[in-house]
């Protein structure tokens, strides 16, 4: 297999602004070599067995030497790997990509450049600041403030609008240089830090007072806009979205949280992810391997989760097979999400129970279950047994095989825990009973180590939202209550339930 290196722009520190091309490449990457200033959620898009290498590349902090990064790219490409080199923003805008391209060319390695949304353009827009205006700004220029002594400040002072990246550490020098070349101290300036995510901050001022306004603040990463267009700052449309000003804690498997996060962000929410599940291969492939070899003996394949779909087809691929191996097998799935993941493999389910829950699968099964041979790839331990009991009760022969394991992370996410303790979470969402159990366990462990508080005190003013009845039952058992339950037991249904509860009237 021929190796390939993809030099990919990750855009802002927010997965919502990733390009579709980048998303596709990440989902098929065998090696990921990434910089520090990317949204950590992007790491969840790669396959579970992808090698991930953090090379740093953040101003003022230790980073991997460029020669080492070049060697990683070349070596893994020559091994035949699909390598994604993930850079913040756009790879050709201050991305220092030239040494990497030159190393790849010298080694005769295939490579492709994939654009990303640069913060130079996106940060002003997301802050409501136009870079051009027919009166105030007929042109703008983008520059780096990393080495201000190398720039022509006399020429820059004549440009309508300046967009400066990597200028937080040299802000005082930049201001002095512009004033020395005739720019008035009343010239407007905006500084945007952590553009596009829940940490975003915007400071507005002039060349004369901005240093006082950001005194003691670390301005990395930040985008600086200087010019009269700053006075045109528009109101952010997101302030009118239903979940604006709501901070939502998402408790799902890290590998699955990104889609739900995006749905919530599209409604204006600030989302904090707390991985409460770890999805890994089963302790043994023996059962699933044996079933795959005998696929022709089964009448039905039942898939009750996206994880079951992904691990089943990855194992199918391991044996050189694809969806055609299921040509004589009917497929039943539980839930829209499971059906959607199945369609990624070119298949449509033959049956989806109407209520999107496993309990209704038997009740509404489209055929007599008597003497049906059913393959059921599932979680290795901890899953509900009711489905197998009911199928067997009606005469089906069910072969259960372990397709994956789901466990509890060893420690609670630091950012999530800090926000929980400080009362900065408005809503917690649960999409399965397992996430409720693991959330309870992680919080109890943290409380024993760090706090005299009880879990009830931490959750007292937080809304608890559940995806459906079974998850709600576990919420009542562990957390004592449920405030919102989805009518349709899907992620989209859970978002809809939140919108109805918090919808603002314009």
Provide the annotated active-site residues. Answer: 35, 57, 166
The DSSP symbol for 221 reads S
* Helices and strands in the chain: count of H runs, count of E runs: 18, 20
3-state secondary structure of 45: coil
State both tokens at 393.
């009760």
Q: Are 204 and 233 a contacting pair, CB within 8 Å? A: yes
- H-state helical runs in 236-343: 257-265, 286-293, 306-318, 336-343
Alpha-carbon distance values, 160 to 74, 172, 175 (Å): 43, 20, 15
Q: Distance between CA 37 and CA 123 in Å, rounded?
A: 14
Q: Distance between CA 421 and CA 425 in Å, rounded?
A: 9
Q: Are 132 and 111 a contacting pair, CB within 8 Å? A: no
State both tokens at 121.
């353009």
State both tokens at 339.
């059906």
CB atoms within 10 A of CB 449: 9
Q: Is the dihedral of CA 384, 385, 389, 391 positive or negative?
A: positive
Q: Distance between CA 114 and CA 382 in Å, rounded?
A: 42
Nearest to 190 by CA among 245, 132, 232: 232
The angle formed by the CA atoms of residues 409, 414 and 416, to the nearest 5 degrees, is: 90
Q: Are 471 and 335 a contacting pair, CB within 8 Å? A: no
Nearest to 369 by CA among 433, 302, 285: 302
Alpha-carbon distance values, 430 to 40, 331, 434 (Å): 21, 27, 9
DSSP 110-171: -EEEE----HHHHHHHHTT--S-BTTTBS-EEEEE-SSGGGS-HHHHTTSSEEEEES-STTH
DSSP 379-397: ESSS--SHHHHHHHHTT-E
């Amino acid at each position: 297999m021929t190796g390939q290196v993809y030099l990919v722009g990750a855009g802002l520190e927010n997965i919502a602004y990733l390009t579709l091309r980048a998303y596709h490449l990440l989902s098929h990457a065998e090696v990921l070599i990434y910089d520090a200033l990317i949204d950590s959620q992007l790491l969840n898009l790669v396959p579970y067995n992808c090698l991930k290498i953090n090379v740093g590349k953040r101003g003022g902090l230790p980073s991997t030497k460029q020669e080492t990064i070049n060697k990683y790219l070349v070596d893994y490409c020559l091994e035949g790997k699909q390598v994604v080199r993930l850079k913040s923003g756009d790879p050709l805008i201050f991305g220092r990509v030239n040494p990497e391209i030159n190393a790849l060319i010298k080694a005769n390695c295939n490579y492709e450049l994939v654009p990303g949304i640069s913060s130079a353009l996106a940060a002003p827009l997301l802050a409501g600041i136009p870079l051009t205006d027919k009166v105030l700004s007929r042109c703008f220029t983008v520059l780096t403030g990393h080495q201000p002594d190398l720039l022509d400040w006399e020429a820059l002072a004549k440009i309508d609008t300046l967009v400066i990246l990597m200028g937080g550490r040299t802000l005082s020098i930049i201001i002095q240089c512009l004033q020395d070349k005739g720019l008035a101290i009343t010239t407007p300036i905006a500084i945007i830090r952590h553009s596009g995510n829940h940490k975003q901050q915007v400071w507005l001022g002039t060349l004369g007072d901005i240093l006082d306004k950001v005194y003691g603040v670390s301005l990395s990463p930040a985008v600086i806009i200087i010019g009269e267009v700053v006075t045109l700052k528009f109101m952010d449309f997101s302030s009118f979205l239903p979940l604006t000003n709501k901070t939502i804690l998402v408790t799902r498997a890290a590998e699955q949280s990104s889609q739900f996060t995006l749905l919530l962000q599209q409604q204006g929410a600030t989302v904090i992810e707390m991985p409460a599940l770890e999805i890994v291969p089963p302790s043994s492939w023996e059962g699933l391997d044996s079933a795959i070899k005998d696929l022709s003996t089964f009448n039905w394949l039942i898939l009750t989760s996206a994880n079951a779909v992904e691990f089943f087809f990855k194992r199918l691929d391991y044996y050189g097979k694809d969806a055609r191996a299921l040509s004589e097998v009917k497929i039943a799935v539980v839930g829209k999400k499971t059906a959607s993941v199945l369609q990624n493999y070119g298949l449509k389910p033959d049956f989806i129970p109407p209520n999107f829950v496993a309990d209704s699968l038997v009740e509404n099964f489209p055929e007599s279950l008597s003497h049906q041979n059913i393959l059921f790839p599932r979680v290795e331990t901890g899953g509900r047994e009711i489905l197998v009991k009911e199928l067997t009760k009606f005469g089906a022969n069910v072969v259960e095989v372990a397709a994956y394991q789901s466990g509890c992370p060893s420690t609670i996410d630091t950012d999530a825990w800090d926000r929980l303790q400080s009362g900065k979470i408005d809503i917690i969402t649960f999409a399965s009973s397992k996430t409720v159990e693991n959330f309870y366990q992680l919080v109890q462990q943290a409380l024993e180590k760090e706090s005299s508080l009880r879990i009830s005190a931490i959750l007292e003013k937080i809304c608890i939202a559940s995806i459906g009845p079974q998850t709600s039952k576990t919420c009542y058992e562990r957390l004592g209550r449920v405030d919102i339950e989805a009518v349709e037991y899907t992620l989209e249904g859970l978002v809809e339930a939140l919108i109805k509860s918090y919808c603002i009237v314009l």
